[in-house]
Amino acid sequence: QGTGKYLPADIDPDLCTHVIYGFAVLDGDQMIIKPHDTWADFDNKFYEKVTALKKRGVKVSLAIGGWNDSAGGKYSKLVNSAQNRQRFTEHVLNFLLEHNFDGLDLDWEYPKCWQVNCNMGPESDKEAFAAWVRELHAAFQPHGLLLSAAVSPSKTVIDAGYDVPVMSELLDWIAVMAYDYHGQWDKRTGHVAPMYAHPEDDDVTFNTNFTIHYWASQ
């Protein structure tokens, strides 16, 4: 609504090779993917309108998660149970094919460090998330579906939550969320997406240069 609204018709497919539709969410009871907004996704046919960009040569993936959907322990409950992972994988495969998506983007924020609080999740989240990636990859390969992930720029979260070698091997790409390094929670002004460290930074790792080099070094 308003002058800033952005609709599927506003997407210029000549500007990109891939479009990620955000978000779908996790049904914490059934442990399956579900639409976040059926009014937009189905009633207004946003799924259909965005996947129509495939006719222009663009790949369209569906993202699951996001900041709000990562609250609480439902993703941890999903990945730490082999039965739940299998149920999710079987369902999401059919969901993606039914709605004509080219793949799935994982945006759980974050394994072990739920909404950046690394005291919230169990240590097992790290290996369980890697197991989830392995199983999704195996299920997607016969269908040619893409698998990607949006990940934290924080060294603390990377160390606690990600098996980087497994992810690097099996994901089609990893999108590092190199923004929100600073915000109103700091109570002082800082660059939201700094390329390099500032002399007055409290944490010299909170910048894109460190983040990308650290991810690559793992």
Cα 69–Cα 108–Cα 125 angle in degrees, nearest 5: 120
Cα 148–Cα 149–Cα 155 angle in degrees, nearest 5: 145
Strands 59-65 and 18-27, bridge-based pairing: parallel
Strands 59-65 and 103-107, bridge-based pairing: parallel
If one counts every other C-beta atom within 10 angstroms of the C-beta of residue 107, the result is: 24
Cα 183–Cα 156–Cα 122 angle in degrees, nearest 5: 110
CA 194 to each of CA 32, 206, 213: distance values in angstroms, whole numbers, following the listed order: 37, 8, 14
Catalytic positions: 109
First-to-final CA distance of the chain: 43
CA 133 to each of CA 104, 167, 168: distance values in angstroms, whole numbers, following the listed order: 11, 7, 10
